[in-house]
Amino acid sequence: MLTRTPDRESSPPIEPNSSPGKRSSKLKKWYIVAAVGLLNGLLLFLVVNLALYAIMGAKRAPTPTLTPTEHLDRDRLQKAYPGWREEDVKDLLNETRRGGNEFEYEPFTAFRERPFRGKFVNIDAAGFRLSKDQAPWPPRPGGTNVFVFGGSTAFGYYLPDDETIASYLQQRATTDHSSAPMAIYNFARPAYISGQELILFQQLLKAGYVPQVAIFIDGLNDFIFADGQPRFTGDMRRFMAGQVDSNPLENVPMVRAAHWLSDRWAKPKPAEKVDYADPSVLDNVIDRWLTNQKMIRLIGAGFGVRTVFVWQPIPMYKYDLRYHLFLHSDKAFAGFVRGEYGYPLMNDLWTHGQLGPDFLWLADIQKDKHENLYVDSVHYNAAFSKAIADHIYSFLREPPQQAQTKDGHRSDLPQH
């Protein structure tokens, strides 16, 4: 019987690497290579991000600055805070700004200072900053309670609790034994404008906290926020429009570094020119403040509150900038400079008796001061805060006068 021999040429050759065991070994090898590469990539990503985080953190942290545009060296800090230790000055600056996290949301007024306890800065949960010999909260009925409203200058930015305008008012009242004791509460808040002060005044009255006197220290911020919209309004508008950036990668150091490099390499956009002397803008600011003043005055009268309106000094108006420790030209004040053009208009209203007998003009009390009066571009030092408080206290000691006539003019207004 014949046996057929298999045709070797007709059968496909068997590849040595085609066995299941060897294919599995090859896949395992590629898996190890990929895993090691991925792990090395993740480690490199982590190391680079940690390095960038340390570099960016070091650039942000070292020396606190009084404003984002000013760089304070040790010499100027010592001149601004004579007799202070450098460590205490830095603590004061850090407690004032608190890493940019000093604000929290508040209904109607939009924002307020967070409650805080520090070495130099203390904010009560009721929304006021503590002063020296601070009276308890709530105010005692039957006493002479005084609420102070205003912006960061009245708040006492970069000053300790016992060197603010409100604190010096409290000290004057405490040492004046010829008058009834006063309890001062500092409700001034950084970046506040007169419209927010009006709302805060209303909210306090509605809550049952009715002072005998309410003092409003204004001038600077209403000209800075010339459109009458509070700070953070743009953020709120974008949030309501659903434009909030919620990308979790935005805070990754490598992404932030990429944005930084892109900004550095991109051609700078020409700065938008702003006419700070635009008469229409200045008139709108003043008209808005006058309207707020009228509403505050009427509300105060309805609750039996004596209202006092103080027009504050600013460095751009009747002050020799050669003595300013930080800025020596009005051009360096940027958006703050609008007050330089608006203050003369307010001065015309005051000299013509159109601001009422409850109005105190302090805008030019620095015209003969041949010394530094500021701890940064616009915030008062302790000595100037005390001088302002002395003027206000003297005005408070004067008997309240009748309200102005309907046309806004009086011939018997006191000249200060």
Strand, helix or coil at 150? strand
Q: What is the pLDDT of residues 363-378, one digit of tens each?
A: 999 999 999 999 999 9
**Claim to verify: residue 30 and residue 115 sit in the same structural domain:** no
- 138 cis-preceded (ω within 30 degrees of 0): yes
Question: Which CATH number belongs to the domain containing residue 387 in this structure?
Answer: 3.40.50.1110
Burial class of residue 239, CB neighbours in 10 A (0-12, 13-18, 19+): exposed
C-alpha closest to that of 155 among 146, 147, 140, 165: 165
**Claim to verify: residue 42 and residue 107 sit in the same structural domain:** no
**Claim to verify: residue 170 and residue 43 sit in the same structural domain:** no
**Claim to verify: residue 183 and residue 320 sit in the same structural domain:** yes
Burial class of residue 279, CB neighbours in 10 A (0-12, 13-18, 19+): exposed
pLDDT, greater one: 50 or 237: 237
Least confident of 23-32, 137-146, 233-242: 23-32
- pLDDT over threshold 80, residue 185: yes
Domain for residue 6, yes or no? Answer: no
Domain for residue 384, yes or no? Answer: yes
Q: What is the pLDDT of residues 70-102, one digit of tens each?
A: 446 778 888 899 999 999 999 999 999 998 899
Q: Take residue 228 and report the two structure tokens written for it.
A: 């009458």
C-alpha closest to that of 153 among 125, 204, 101, 193: 193
- pLDDT over threshold 80, residue 127: yes
Task: Name the pLDDT band for 135 (thresholds 50, 70, 90).
Answer: very high
**Claim to verify: residue 195 and residue 308 sit in the same structural domain:** yes
**Claim to verify: residue 106 and residue 54 sit in the same structural domain:** no
C-alpha–C-alpha distance, residues 77 and 256, integer Å: 32
Least confident of 52-61, 110-119, 277-286: 52-61
Mean pLDDT for the stretch of residues 304-316: 97
Count: domains in the chain: 2
Per-residue model confidence (pLDDT) at position 247: 59
In this prediction the pTM is 0.79
Structural domain that includes position 41: 24-60
- pLDDT over threshold 80, residue 202: yes
C-alpha–C-alpha distance, residues 416 and 368, integer Å: 15
- pLDDT over threshold 50, residue 291: yes
Domain for residue 366, yes or no? Answer: yes
What backbone torsions phi and psi does residue 258 show, to the nearest 5 degrees?
-65, -40
Per-residue model confidence (pLDDT) at position 264: 65
**Claim to verify: residue 54 and residue 168 sit in the same structural domain:** no
